[in-house]
Amino acid sequence: MIHDSIIRDRLVTGDKTAADVTRDIARPILNKPSTSWKIGFTLSVVFLGIFVASLFYTLWTGIGVWNINKSVMWGWDITNFVFWVGIGHAGTLISAVLLLFRQKWRMSINRSAEAMTIFAVICAAMFPVFHMGRVWVGYWALPLPNGFGSLWVNFNSPLLWDVFAISTYFSVSLLFWYIGLIPDIATIRDKVKGKTEKALYGFFSMGWTGSTRTWARYELVSLILAGLSTPLVLSVHTIVSTDFATSVVPGWHTTIFPPYFVAGAIFSGFGMVATLLVVARKVMNYENYITIGHLDAMTKIIMVTGSIVGIAYLTEFFIAWYSGVEYEQYAFTNRAFGPYWWAYWSMMSCNLIAPQVFWFRWARTTPWFIFIMSIVVNVGMWFERFVIIVTSLHRDYLPSSWVMYAGSLTEIGLFLGTFGIFFTCFFLFAKYLPVINMAEVKSILRNRE
């Protein structure tokens, strides 16, 4: 028996009908781009240009244009890699984990979060690929026969696990995103007027008609893909954490890394989702679809995951002291009170202390404040990776190899440039594909139990 819920708040406000949903969400696709879109897109392309220029300089001159050295052999590049992979995690969490838990509020935000995953993984992949130096032999990372130049790959290495994990994560996320898009692409196909647009959307809609038989199987496929993506998303950042945890570097060699990295990834991912959606709901007039209730739910997740990450920071310190290993103890004292103290305390302030403000309802329901906090979270999570990587490497067992490290202009340019890649992709997505899942949102208009 189906009832209209009298307890729960409506997930879509404004008494929208199915036709209203199509009209509102397809508006940017069916009309000419707005001025705000043009300004945002141009700015993104400028940053994309910075990426291309920095990359060209790196490839032309050599990897020496980065400030990494024999002690700090991983610097901004791997910091940025982990930062972007982490951001990608919220998309899969929203689409897969929240689907398994039947959280219907995810329906307004899952599409853009999944898109964010894909674009973030593209940005992430840039760093290890170009850190190889000789990028033209990058295919040696794949399991190809010895005759192709390298030996078979080393299956005991976490770096190889990364190759499999990131490529599987990217492919499965793309598939999940595309399958979710098919019904909406069909809706756009039946709305656009131009011959080319009709042919393009027709091609990608794969002849979708909305048959009940297809919907039944579609929902089953979505459920199974969600079931697959859930352990996948946990495995990816677990594997990224083993890049560090399987080494013998003090500060890295800890078993807390996998859960701590996964929580951090969800935390930073939700930070970026909040950044994007607070702006998108205002600029694209989606306030009835991405409501204050959605922001409230997202900020609660930010607060919980931020607290988990904070406990992990404190646990690391405790374990270093409790282990009695002087190298571990030194690594953590050096993090907090050594030359990179400013990075450590930025991390602690942004990730552990700042999100506690979300205990207050005002903070969870005020969009401009959430936007500022989401930026704080992103800055904090970048510093977390910087702290883990640089402060652990810059002083090792041998004082003669102690060095200081700061990113070169090229490294900074590459990092800023990846925001260009990310936002260029996101603006194109917002112009040509529905940012909100129309079919799913139509199914929750009646607020039924």
Partner 1 sequence: MGILDKNLSLRNRNKMVVGVWEDEDSLVAATSELVHNGVKIHDIYTPYPVHGLDRIIGVRRSKLARVAFFCAMTGFTLVTTMIWYMYVHDWPMNIGNKPVRFTPSWAPVMFEGTVLCTAFGMAFFFFWRNRLVHGIKNELLDDRQTDDRSVIAVEITESADQNSILGTMKKHNPVELKEFHNGVNTTIK
Positions that interact with partner 1 (CB under 8 A): 17-19, 22, 143, 146, 151-156, 158, 160-161, 164-165, 168, 171-172, 175-176, 179, 182-183, 186-187, 189-191, 202-221, 224-225, 228, 231-232, 235, 239, 242, 439-440, 442-443, 446
Phi then psi for residue 337, to 5 deg, are: -125, 5
Q: Smaller CB distance to partner 1: residue 248 or 368?
A: 248
Instruction: Classify the C-alpha dihedral 317-320-324-327 as positive or negative.
Output: negative
Work out how close the CB of 5 gets to partner 1 at its nearest, in angstroms, rounded to a whole number: 15
Work out how close the CB of 431 gets to partner 1 at its nearest, in angstroms, rounded to a whole number: 20
Q: Smaller CB distance to partner 1: residue 16 or 282?
A: 16
Q: Smaller CB distance to partner 1: residue 80 or 187?
A: 187
Work out how close the CB of 47 gets to partner 1 at its nearest, in angstroms, rounded to a whole number: 32
Work out how close the CB of 74 gets to partner 1 at its nearest, in angstroms, rounded to a whole number: 20
| Tally of CB atoms within 10 A around 28 | 20
Q: Smaller CB distance to partner 1: residue 177 or 252?
A: 177
Burial state string for 185-221 with b = 16 or more CB within 10 A and e = fewer than 16: bbbbbeebeeeebeebbbeebeebeeeeeeeeebeee
At 305, list the tokens. Answer: 């995951």
Q: Smaller CB distance to partner 1: residue 153 or 412?
A: 153
Alpha-carbon gap, residue 291 to 367, rounded angstroms: 10
Q: Smaller CB distance to partner 1: residue 238 or 374?
A: 238
Work out how close the CB of 350 gets to partner 1 at its nearest, in angstroms, rounded to a whole number: 31
Work out how close the CB of 137 gets to partner 1 at its nearest, in angstroms, rounded to a whole number: 18
Q: CB under 8 Å to 136, separation ≥6 — which residues?
A: none
Alpha-carbon gap, residue 186 to 16, rounded angstroms: 21
Compute CA distances 264 → 90, 137, 148, 309, 352, whole Å.
Answer: 10, 33, 38, 6, 11
Q: Smaller CB distance to partner 1: residue 54 or 241?
A: 241
At 242, list the tokens. Answer: 């083993």
Q: Smaller CB distance to partner 1: residue 35 or 156?
A: 156
Work out how close the CB of 49 gets to partner 1 at its nearest, in angstroms, rounded to a whole number: 33
- Give the three-state DSSP class for 4: strand
- Give the three-state DSSP class for 448: strand
Alpha-carbon gap, residue 96 to 403, rounded angstroms: 43
Work out how close the CB of 223 gets to partner 1 at its nearest, in angstroms, rounded to a whole number: 9
Q: What angle do CA 100, 295, 221 make, to 5 degrees?
A: 25
